[in-house]
Chains A and B, each alone.
Chain A
Amino acid sequence: MALLEVNNLSKRFGGLQAVKDVSFSVERGMIKAVIGPNGAGKTTLFNLLSGFAEPDTGEVRFRDAWIHGRGPHQIAASGISRTFQHIRLFSHMTALENVTVGRHVRSRAGFVAGMLSLPWTHREEREIREKSLNAMEFLGIAHLAHDEATSLSYGQQRAVELSRALAAEPEMLLLDEPAAGLNMRETADLANLIVRIRDRGITVLIVEHDMSLVMKISDEVVVLSYGEKIADEKPLAVQKDPQVISVYLGEDEC
């Protein structure tokens, strides 16, 4: 069975049908991309999957459990991590501290244990620190651990955000326009990185505006237009799909 299954998902904002009847599935261990022009409903779809918005109708199934309508923290706890299109780091915290928050779902010290500083919480903290540093090393930013996160450069902040998502050891990683603001070389590096993440056994779902990144690395591509799915195929097939071409290049040129 597929790791993630989306059935007939719809969401309306006032008069705007942002996502309409979208269905697709993501198999374990693949890189899947959702693409579409601006305003196609990609970000809304993403928010529906990660619990930031509640679908009007439709279902989302992750690992045998229904997750639609659950809150973001519950979805995160079930094994889905996400990044944001506009980087969302915690201000007034170091890069390492930011990443350690990613371990929240993998640790359990609560108010009482925290106040009493029970011995097992110290062991837990050590493990949190180790795993967080590992995640930062994976992205090559371990040397920035003690810098204030929001004072880092744009690319470094993206890396911190990604380490934070990886520190949670998710089964599935949702990337919201990860190539936004990157130049060609950086985009190529990012492509490599995403493949390496997949090779660690993490299923990846990318929302992307830029076709070039996803065509190279994705196993399957979903194309959205005005909230509706118009294609769900292998990258090569998508590139030849006349409907997709018309959406991206405009009706007239067809």
Chain B
Amino acid sequence: MKRYNHILILIAAVAGVQVLTAVLGKQFYLTQLTMTAYYCIAIVGLTLLMGFAGQISLGHAGFFAIGGYTSAVLTTLDLSQFKDSSIVSLLAKLFIVTSRQDLYGGQVLSFNPWAAFIIAIGLTLVIAYIIGIPVLKLKGHYLAMATLGFGTIIYSIVLGTQRFGAADGISSVPAFTLLPGLAVSGNTEFRVRNYYLAWTLVIGVMVLLINLINSRVGRALRAIHGAEDAAGAMGVDTARFKLNTFILSAALASMAGVFLTHYNGGIGPSEASIMKSVRYVAIVSVGGMGSLWGTLIMSTTLTFLSLRGYFGTFDDAVFGAILIVIMLFSPQGILQFDVKALLKKLLRKKE
């Protein structure tokens, strides 16, 4: 089908890049490309919220962090001393809590990554629901500040709580074995496998979202974006559609957080920072608010360059500058940039 043409190109590109790195002997690029994939999932989810439902979120890193931290805490928690308590032994029987070896060879009794993943997503859904109901009633500056406030609260909780490792974050998070032989981990032995796993997830998310925006729901969202009152008059439950989109994009951010945390073997408070949220918004803006593919392309490029350290000490400044330049000259995104129109405008001014 026509709508999946781009997906085929993406699949070819993913495979092509892997082959290329193998031929050139630059497999180490795959590490950053894998991380990039997970950030892309969060950013594409935000595109759905900003570009299609028309709602800004300046606290999306908060959801990423909720996923990552929940999973990190649960999988590194040592329950050995409660081994004999009835709850823990019940959880152990259900394989929700399992025993594993830590780095130093000791036995640790902690949550199974699958269980932690499900709990993390569940927690995100609940928080997004509770936050979303009041927040999405707001508009414009108020919505921006409220989501910024949410992000700041998550950041200060993460930074101020010993259990979350405060400024150091949480490390030695175990691998997440999805299937036998397929684990999310930073072990270089599994680098290629993890690269394909991450990008398969991106492709899956893209397929789901492309389906969604081409469905009745996508049409309703664009209608809300175009004229909210008229959408309501045509029977679109605007509050519920906005809320569902918010929850969906929060869940995607959280999922990205869980996977990246397992891949990196840890998570730090900077993942929850406002600057991260702003960065996501910047990338969505550059990609063109209403374009999933535009966002995916820009997100891959910018995140990869940033992770490879090409922006040096100007990392944050680059994203700040991108925000301004895009919003000043081409609010429809860089791929829609109309050079002719700009030239015309400049020439007319001089006359």
Contacts and interface: CB of A to CB of B under 8 A. Distances in A.
In the complex, A touching B, CB below 8 Å?
yes
Interface of A: 50-52, 71-74, 76-77, 81-82, 84, 88-93, 97, 100-102, 104-105, 107-111, 113-117, 121, 124-125, 128, 164-165, 168
B234 A164 contact: yes
Contact of B215 (A71, A76, A84, A117): A117
B218 A90 contact: no
Nearest to B226: A90
In this complex, the member of B215, B218, B227 whose beta carbon has the largest number of chain A beta carbons within 10 angstroms is B215
- Chain A facing B: main interface SS: helix
B217 interface: yes
Contact of B222 (A50, A84, A92): A92
A97 B236 CA distance: 14
A7 B155 CA distance: 53
A98 B129 CA distance: 30
B229 interface: yes
Given A72-B229, A88-B229, A97 B238 contact: no
Contacts of A100: 219
Interface string B301-342: 000000000000000000000000000000000000000000
A73 B230 contact: no
Contacts of A93: 219, 222-223, 226
A91 B234 contact: no
Contact of A90 (B214, B215, B222, B237): B222
Interface string B194-228: 00000000000000110110111111101101110
A69 to B, nearest CB: 15
B235 A77 contact: yes
A91 B208 CA distance: 25
In this complex, the member of B212, B219, B233, B290 whose beta carbon has the largest number of chain A beta carbons within 10 angstroms is B233
A179 to B, nearest CB: 20
B235 A111 contact: no
B231 interface: yes
B216 A92 contact: no
Contacts of A71: 232, 237
Given A110-B217, A124-B216, 9 more contacts: A72-B233, A89-B226, A90-B223, A101-B219, A101-B234, A108-B216, A111-B212, A117-B214, A168-B234
Nearest to A167: B234
Contacts of B225: 90, 92
Given A88-B229, A90-B231, A93-B222, A73 B216 contact: no
B211 A117 contact: yes
A105 B219 contact: no
Minimum-distance CB pairs A-B, first 10: A90-B226, A114-B215, A105-B235, A76-B235, A88-B230, A72-B232, A117-B211, A115-B208, A109-B216, A114-B217
Contacts of B238: 73
B244 A111 contact: yes
A11 B229 CA distance: 20
Contact of A115 (B209, B230, B290): B209
B230 A104 contact: no
A116 B210 CA distance: 10
Nearest to A174: B233
A164 B216 CA distance: 15
B234 A111 contact: no
B79 interface: no
Contact of B227 (A74, A88, A108): A88
A120 B220 CA distance: 18
8 contacts: A52-B229, A74-B237, A76-B234, A90-B223, A108-B216, A116-B211, A164-B234, A165-B234
Contacts of A76: 232-235
B89 to A, nearest CB: 36
Interface string B242-256: 001000100000000
A112 to B, nearest CB: 9
Contacts of B227: 88-91
A101 B211 contact: no
